[in-house]
Amino acid sequence: MKDIMPVNGQFAMMALPYENLGTAVSRDTLSFHHGKHLKAYVDNLNKALPGSGLEGISLQEVVRKAQGGIFNNAGQVLNHTLYFEQLSPSPRPMGSHLESLLGRDFGSVEAFKNEFVQKGATLFGSGWVWLSMDSDGKLVVTQQRNAENPVTDGLRPLLTFDVWEHAYYLDYQNRRADYLAALWQVVDWQVVESRL
Ligand code: MN
């Protein structure tokens, strides 16, 4: 993942690289999730940065160093950037390199997906489920609460599913596991592999 840098002290609102995600996520959910929720996190972060001592550094560094409101908003900007960028209505398949790593560390791609969905479905409250690479090169699945991101634990984030209710409630109501299962249809694995 490239460092995300501010311009003139402000982080830009990412543009969505697509207009829909097929049947996995509705246009209404996409519109609220990107245009309202992410927009609020970006605006709140940019308002809080001046005078904070965290100006001029990458978004990833802000997440590693900040606490309180700045951490929450910076974390959510980073998490949503990774989330939206890895999805596509015409996703590219997984390559053999990532497939072999998943097989090595989880037994199989299916076993990885099962663990990922299980950890996403059982995360209590709001948060994110992540696939990351640790400092030894091993792939791990973690649950992170609220705005947390694996970069604060020294991990390299590769893939994430948002399990805040705003990510799925309009489409799936309480059926979080169905939302998580449907998201596999729109994961662009070439984007995920580019983060290795
Ligand atoms: Mn979200």
Measure 169 CA to ligand 1 centroid, in angstroms: 11
Residue 4 CA, chain-centre distance (Å), reads 14
Measure 76 CA to ligand 1 centroid, in angstroms: 7
Measure 9 CA to ligand 1 centroid, in angstroms: 24
Query: Among candidates 86, 80, 83, which has minimal Cα distance to 36?
Result: 80
DSSP H helical segments within 23-129, as ranges? 27-32, 39-48, 59-65, 68-85, 96-106, 109-121
Which pTM does this prediction carry?
A: 0.97
Mean pLDDT of the region 78-99: 98
Measure 62 CA to ligand 1 centroid, in angstroms: 19
Residue range 96-194 forms a domain whose CATH class is: alpha beta
Measure 104 CA to ligand 1 centroid, in angstroms: 31
Q: Which pLDDT tens digit goes with each residue over 24-42?
A: 999 999 999 999 999 999 9
pLDDT of residue 109: 98
Measure 96 CA to ligand 1 centroid, in angstroms: 30
Q: Domain locations in the chain?
A: 96-194
Contact 158, 181 (CB under 8 A): no
Sequence-distant (6+) residues with CB within 8 A of 33 are 25, 80, 162, 166, 167
